[in-house]
């Protein structure tokens, strides 16, 4: 079932969606909220443009990530510079590309539902991944991701709602 969901997701070569995100960080009294635009262009171009509360841009393409925070100058880093960046790229790109093999390098995959309404669960395959991520759950309908629930290893939680 997981492979079927990923195959359907990978059949969409371009996506432009709005997102609302809530970060629950244990060290903070209140969650951090943000919103903006997500873009995907096959094979591997991803943009996350945060428009509120401040303007941030994250662009992944090839083996590089460009980060632009507020009024600071943009910084470009190779994805392989840290395991966290590599994992982030695989976690985002894998489903959008329909790349089951990439995801299986990092996660065990399971799914519930059917292709029309589904939940995809990714749990770490290795202790290295488990030191960064506890679980990633995506829900969606057909070939669209509607939400992402990410629990980090330190129990910080990010919930992303994606609208079309």
The string of pLDDT tens digits covering residues 114-155 is: 989 999 999 999 999 999 999 999 999 999 999 999 999 999
Q: Are 24 and 156 in contact (CB under 8 A)?
A: yes
CATH number at residue 85: 2.50.20.10
Parent domain of 22: 2-163
pLDDT in tens, 69-86: 988 899 999 998 989 999
Single pTM value for the model: 0.95
Report how many domains make up the chain: 1
Strand runs (DSSP E) across the chain, as ranges? 14-24, 32-41, 45-52, 56-61, 64-69, 75-78, 107-114, 117-124, 133-141, 144-152, 157-163
Strand partners of residue 141: 144
């Amino acid at each position: 079932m997981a492979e079927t969901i990923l195959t359907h997701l990978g059949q969409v070569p371009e996506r432009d969606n709005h997102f609302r995100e809530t970060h629950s960080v244990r060290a903070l009294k209140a969650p951090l909220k943000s919103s903006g635009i997500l873009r995907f262009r096959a094979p591997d171009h991803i943009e996350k443009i945060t428009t509120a509360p401040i303007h941030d841009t994250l662009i992944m393409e090839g083996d590089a990530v460009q980060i632009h925070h507020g009024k600071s100058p943009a910084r470009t880093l190779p994805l392989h510079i840290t395991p966290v960046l590599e994992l982030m790229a695989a976690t985002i790109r894998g489903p959008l590309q329909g790349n089951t093999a990439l995801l299986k390098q990092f996660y065990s995959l399971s799914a519930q539902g059917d292709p029309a309404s589904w939940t995809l669960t990714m749990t770490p395959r290795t202790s290295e991944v488990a030191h960064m991520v506890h679980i990633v759950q995506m829900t969606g309908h057909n070939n669209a991701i509607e939400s992402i629930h990410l629990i980090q290893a330190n129990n910080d939680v990010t919930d992303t709602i994606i609208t079309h």
